[in-house]
């Protein structure tokens, strides 16, 4: 009897951690114990592992008079999930000397079925990233997870369908003396995503701005929001195209960079929401207005990420904004300001990324007909006021742009599609403005990519305004009673408008247009 050691990993919140798995065998009455703060799903692995070993051509651990102790280290960290099945099985077979294998610089993860088949796991991408960072040369995981894992350069990824396949690949001891064959798991060649010769998949545009009749001011506002990464709210009566405009907005955003792809894909991989390889385009999340505080911000028993984190590097669309619970709306303060969200519970605390563009919509009143020509509003004055006050001053301040979406004249609804400016025309302008901003901040030594990301300190230091422009801004700020936060957001918005024109300096007309996007009816909260 002997002791064996093998390496595995698990995800904790949005990161991965290497777990050492040791198996000790000694003579005595049969027992199988897992130690190291293992949860129920890990403890149950002894039954899955035993059956998988038996059905892979080896003698079942239950048929041997031996005491089996599986240790998962570090012992003070809780181990969760069934992904330790594969490494426990291999460690047992090594300790019992049924196989021989070199396990150094190799990492194993995977859930086993009773017949020895491997089932997909959550978090394959961050686990592979951690393995590469910690110097592992190879990783073995379920074949279904191989596509996301191969995105990491510099580590060999082996996707297997069963325990038997893994053993036939790593075992240097013949399983059958009459059989000289050795089956190798196909190694997926590592090609950096940026240099891949794979044909680029063109994102299909489901809703084009050319399909939306009229609403030129709203389209202009959304184009500016996309160029600078600004939060925007569209208000107007029902049926004016607010939801269509929001859905068309995502196609204005540029594809994610390679690092952003890894970051976003890791979030979805850990959440078990990944259906294919790398996520190449900004995510679009649209929670219903009945969504709870926990579903939006995150939390629960396992501190699960919420919608604000799932929208990271993408868009969070909140239709019927005032219909959300007030607690839910107030929870947006931190992510809209700091682009992260902190969750504190009795179990512990977590800090998740939440860098997104907020697009919200709202009606003029609960029934939607207040102030609409030819429509009768059935809301009381008290209900209308209550509807408006669902949004506090701090939330209003954090929204850069307020755009009215009015009712479209019936004559325009039959206009030819060619008369409308489409996404294909608008997107190059957005990309040009973004590139101009990114190059400007790169020269200044900042990591900032869009104007909306500028901190107040960097804004004052790097965005210079002429005396005439300052005079116009300060005079307007006093008249509108702007807060310091709104004041700074006006400057950032004006800088984006200037970038869209290719202007090196912020001019008076840029400030005036930016001021037009401030909320008129909600200025004082």
168-187 tens-digit pLDDT: 999 988 655 444 444 556 55
| Per-position pLDDT tens, the chain of length 525 | 589 999 999 998 889 999 999 999 999 888 999 999 999 999 999 999 999 999 999 999 988 889 999 999 999 999 999 999 999 999 999 999 999 999 999 999 999 999 999 999 999 999 999 999 999 999 999 999 998 999 899 999 999 999 999 999 999 886 554 444 445 565 554 333 333 334 445 566 788 898 888 888 999 999 999 999 999 999 989 888 899 999 999 999 999 999 999 999 999 999 888 877 789 999 999 999 999 999 999 988 778 899 999 999 999 999 999 999 999 999 999 999 999 999 887 667 889 999 999 999 999 889 888 888 878 899 998 988 888 888 888 999 999 999 999 877 655 666 666 667 889 999 999 999 999 999 999 999 999 999 999 999 999 999 999 999 999 999 999 999 999 999 999 999 999 999 999 999 999 999 999 999 998 754 333
**DSSP-derived secondary structure letter, 306:** -
The rounded distance, in Å, linking the Cα atoms of 288 and 84 is 36
CA distances 6 to 18, 48, 164, 176, 187, Å, are 11, 18, 17, 24, 20
pLDDT digits (tens, 9 = 90+) for 324-371: 999 999 999 999 999 999 988 766 788 999 999 999 999 988 988 888
pLDDT value of residue 297: 93
Beta bridge partners of 232: 359, 401
* Domains detected in the chain: 3-195 (3.30.230.10), 209-446 (3.40.50.300)
Q: Write out the two tokens for 124.
A: 């394959």
The rounded distance, in Å, linking the Cα atoms of 427 and 244 is 17
Neighbouring residues of 199: CB distance < 8 A, sequence distance ≥ 6:
none
pLDDT value of residue 1: 52
CB 207 within 8 A of CB 248: yes
- For 138-177, where are the E strands, in sequence order? 138-142, 156-160
CB 126 within 8 A of CB 15: yes
- With a threshold of 0.85, does the pTM exceed it? yes
The rounded distance, in Å, linking the Cα atoms of 200 and 204 is 12
The rounded distance, in Å, linking the Cα atoms of 272 and 125 is 11
Residue 92 C-alpha from the chain's centroid:
37
């Amino acid at each position: 009897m002997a002791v064996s050691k093998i390496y595995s990993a698990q995800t904790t919140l949005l990161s991965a951690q290497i777990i050492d798995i040791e198996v000790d065998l000694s003579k005595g009455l049969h027992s199988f114990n897992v130690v190291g703060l293992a949860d129920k799903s890990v403890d149950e692995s002894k039954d899955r592992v035993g059956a998988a070993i038996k059905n892979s051509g080896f003698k079942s651990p239950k048929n041997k008079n031996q005491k089996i102790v599986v240790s998962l280290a570090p012992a003070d960290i809780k181990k969760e999930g069934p992904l330790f099945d594969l490494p426990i099985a291999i460690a047992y077979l090594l300790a019992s000397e049924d196989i021989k294998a070199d396990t150094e610089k190799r990492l194993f993860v995977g859930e086993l079925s009773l017949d020895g088949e491997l089932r997909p796991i959550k978090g394959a991408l961050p686990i592979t990233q951690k393995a590469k960072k910690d110097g592992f040369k190879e990783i073995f995981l379920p074949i279904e997870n191989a596509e996301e894992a191969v995105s990491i350069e510099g580590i060999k990824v082996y996707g297997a369908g069963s325990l038997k396949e893994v053993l036939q690949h790593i075992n240097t001891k013949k399983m059958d003396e009459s059989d000289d064959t050795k089956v190798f798991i196909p190694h997926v060649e590592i090609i950096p995503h940026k240099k891949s010769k794979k044909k680029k998949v063109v994102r299909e545009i489901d809703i084009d701005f050319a399909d939306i009749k009229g609403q030129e001011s709203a389209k202009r506002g959304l184009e500016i929001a996309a160029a600078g990464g600004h939060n925007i709210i569209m208000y107007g009566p029902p049926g004016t195209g607010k939801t269509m405009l929001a859905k068309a907005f995502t196609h204005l955003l540029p594809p994610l960079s390679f690092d952003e792809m890894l970051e976003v894909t890791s979030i979805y991989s850990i959440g078990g929401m990944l259906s294919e390889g790398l996520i190449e385009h900004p995510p679009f999340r649209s929670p219903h207005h009945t969504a709870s505080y926990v579903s939006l911000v995150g939390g629960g028993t396992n501190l699960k990420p919420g919608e604000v984190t799932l929208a990271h590097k993408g868009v969070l669309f909140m239709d019927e904004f005032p219909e959300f619970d007030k607690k839910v709306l107030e929870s947006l303060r931190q992510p809209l300001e700091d682009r992260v969200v902190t969750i504190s519970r009795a179990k512990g605390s977590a800090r998740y990324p939440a860098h997104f563009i907020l697009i919200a919509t709202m009606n003029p009143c609960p029934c939607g007909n207040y102030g609409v020509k030819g429509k009768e509003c059935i809301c009381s004055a008290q209900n209308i006021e209550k509807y408006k006050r669902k949004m506090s001053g701090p939330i209003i301040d954090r929204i850069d742009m307020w755009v009215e979406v009015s009712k479209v004249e019936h004559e325009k609804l039959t206009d030819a599609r060619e008369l409308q400016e489409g996404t294909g025309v608008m997107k190059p302008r957005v990309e040009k403005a973004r590139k101009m901003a990114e190059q400007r901040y790169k020269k200044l030594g900042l990591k900032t990519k869009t104007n909306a990301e500028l901190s107040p300190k960097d804004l004052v230091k790097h965005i210079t305004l002429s005396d005439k422009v300052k005079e116009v801004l300060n005079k307007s700020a006093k008249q509108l009673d702007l807060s310091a936060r709104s004041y700074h957001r006006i400057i950032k918005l004006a800088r984006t408008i200037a970038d869209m024109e290719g202007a090196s300096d912020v001019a008076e007309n840029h400030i005036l247009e930016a001021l037009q996007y401030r909320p008129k009816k909600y200025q004082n909260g």
